[in-house]
Structure 1
Amino acid sequence: MILEIAHFRIQSSADNPGFEAAFAIAQIILASMPGYLGHELHRCIEDPCEYRLLVHWNTVQDHIKGFRESARFAEWRALLQPFFAAPPSAAHYEARFTSHPSC
């Protein structure tokens, strides 16, 4: 399993509701992709124009070939692109150490 971390900067914090509404639709596309395992969208507390999308995939290829090179990616991007202040960036990570606090 790998973790994709994508960095989004939207144009204005006034756009938060619109961006998050668009993401609510876009996440349905994301979740339908082969190799998709789950995701979380986080908004920065100190800078509400900054978001991080964490997506778990089976493999890097599931993200690159299965999603980014699919026709569905164009749909996903069209929903979110109008809000971006800059092109998003993303990288892939593999876990080295994990810890889960007990409840």
Structure 2
Amino acid sequence: MILEVADIEIDPAKQKEFEEAILRGIQTVISKAKGFQGFKVNHSQESPGRYLLMNYWDTLENHTVDFRQSPDFAEWRSIVGPFFLKPPVVEHFDLVGKSA
């Protein structure tokens, strides 16, 4: 399983609207993507305009090819992209260990 982490920065004044948009985008677009396993969205307490979106994929290619190169990616970006102050920083991670 691959963890995709997107570090997102928005205008803090648009927090409520962004939170509604990101959850709607995940539920209506990303959740239907091949290899998608789940997500978490966290909001920073110290930086009110910062969010971390963590998506879980079966493979790296499920995100980078199957999703990002599909029309669904454009739909996703049309929902959340208008809130971004700059392009999100996205990285992919392999699990090394976890607690029970």
**Residue 27 of structure 1: CA displacement?**
0.7
TM-score, with structure 2 as normaliser:
0.95
Give the residue type in structure 1 aligned to 2:69.
E
CA deviation profile, 1:77-96 (whole Å, cap 9, x unmatched): 01111111111111110011
Q: Which runs of structure 2 are paired with 1:1-103 in the superposition (5 Å)?
A: 1-10=1-10, 12-28=11-27, 29-100=29-100
Task: Supply the RMSD in Å over aligned alpha carbons.
Answer: 0.8
Runs of 4+ in 1 over 4 A off after TM superposition: none
Distance across 2 between alignment mates of 1:26 and 1:70: 15
State the number of aligned residues: 99
Give 3-state SS (helix, strand or coil) of 1:82's partner. helix
Distance across 2 between alignment mates of 1:95 and 1:14: 35
Task: Give 5+ residue unaligned stretches, structure 1.
Answer: none
Identity %: 34
**Residue 24 of structure 1: CA displacement?**
2.1
Which protein shows a greater Rg?
Answer: 1
Distance across 2 between alignment mates of 1:38 and 1:66: 16
Give 3-state SS (helix, strand or coil) of 1:20's partner. helix
**Residue 25 of structure 1: CA displacement?**
1.5
Distance across 1 between alignment mates of 2:74 and 2:63: 14
TM-score, with structure 1 as normaliser:
0.92
Give 3-state SS (helix, strand or coil) of 1:74's partner. helix
**Residue 13 of structure 1: CA displacement?**
1.1
Give 3-state SS (helix, strand or coil) of 1:7's partner. strand
Task: Give 5+ residue unaligned stretches, structure 2.
Answer: none
